[in-house]
């Protein structure tokens, strides 16, 4: 039986790879023998990730990149192509959250989250797809959120709004790029402890009350 987890020879880019789910996605891809280009703004954390992956026998290059900046995305994607010759997999994962009552939310903060969590997804998908279309192969996975499907009483409007856009962004690209053997899918994780999502005692108590498994993700 074919091993569908075997990614030998595949080249993957993971954005938001310096912490949280992106860090774990990168290690999981490397453990299944993909070559991983880890994208994020914090170079020192990417270097630590690359060291971990290389020590375990995998291949990883750290690429410092702000996905909201078009020029950086273009040059960073080209760096991966120059290094490994192609891009097979893109995991769009970089994101931000803004805890702020909507009536107090500055336009600058709204725009910053949109630039990273939505425009960044577009720029990365556009640039990677140029190579994928040439090669007639690609796999794109967009990290959404359960808050892209439901609301929460917490004041995180712009996070909810950008994650709500991910499903239809994904459907649109899936339709457009299917003829080139590129699949585009999204996942909608629940709450995972990370640098971006900290849990107070009150938050954990609330989670236990409304989540059947009674804990955040691991």
pLDDT in tens, 47-79: 999 999 999 999 999 999 999 999 999 999 999
How do residues 122-134 score in pLDDT, each as one tens digit?
A: 999 999 999 999 9
Task: Say whether pLDDT at 209 is over 80.
Answer: no
Whether 160 is in a domain gets the answer yes
CA atoms within 13 A on the CB side of 80: 33
Q: Which domain does 134 fall in, by range?
A: 11-210
Q: What CATH number is attached to the domain comprising 106?
A: 3.40.50.720
At residue 27, what are phi and psi to the nearest 5 degrees? -65, -40
Q: How confident is residue 199, by pLDDT bands cut at 50, 70 and 90?
A: low
Q: Are 142 and 121 in contact (CB under 8 A)?
A: yes
For the entire predicted model, the pTM comes to 0.90
Mark whether 4 is an active-site residue.
no
Whether 3 is in a domain gets the answer no
Q: Which of 23, 25, 121, 159 is catalytic?
A: 159
Q: How confident is residue 194, by pLDDT bands cut at 50, 70 and 90?
A: low
Whether 168 is in a domain gets the answer yes
Number of domains in the chain: 1
Alpha carbon distance 95, 74 (integer Å): 19
More confident residue, 154 or 121: 121
| Average pLDDT in the chain | 92
Sequence-ordered strand ranges (E) for the chain: 11-15, 35-40, 59-64, 89-92, 138-143, 182-187
Note the Cα 67 to chain centre separation in Å: 11
Whether 216 is in a domain gets the answer no
Rg of the chain in Å (alpha carbons): 17
């Amino acid at each position: 039986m074919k091993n569908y987890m075997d990614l030998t020879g595949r080249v993957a880019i993971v954005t938001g790879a310096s912490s949280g789910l992106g860090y774990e996605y990168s290690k999981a891809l490397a453990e299944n023998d993909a070559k991983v280009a880890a994208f994020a703004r914090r170079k020192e954390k990417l270097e630590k990730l690359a060291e971990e992956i290389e020590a375990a026998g995998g291949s990883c290059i750290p690429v410092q990149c702000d996905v909201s900046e078009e020029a950086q995305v273009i040059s960073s994607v080209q760096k991966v192509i120059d290094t490994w010759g192609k891009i097979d997999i893109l995991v769009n994962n970089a994101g931000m959250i803004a805890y702020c009552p909507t009536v107090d939310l500055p336009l600058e903060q709204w725009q910053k989250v949109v630039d990273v969590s939505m425009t960044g997804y577009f720029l990365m998908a556009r640039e990677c797809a140029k190579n994928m279309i040439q090669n007639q192969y690609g796999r794109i996975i967009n990290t959404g959120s359960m808050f892209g499907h439901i609301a929460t009483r917490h004041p995180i409007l712009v996070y909810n709004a950008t994650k709500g856009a991910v499903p239809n962004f994904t459907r649109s690209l899936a339709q457009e790029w299917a003829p080139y053997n590129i699949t585009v899918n999204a996942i909608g994780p629940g709450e995972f402890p990370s640098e971006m999502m900290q849990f107070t005692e009150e938050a954990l108590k609330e989670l236990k009350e409304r989540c059947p498994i009674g804990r955040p993700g691991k």
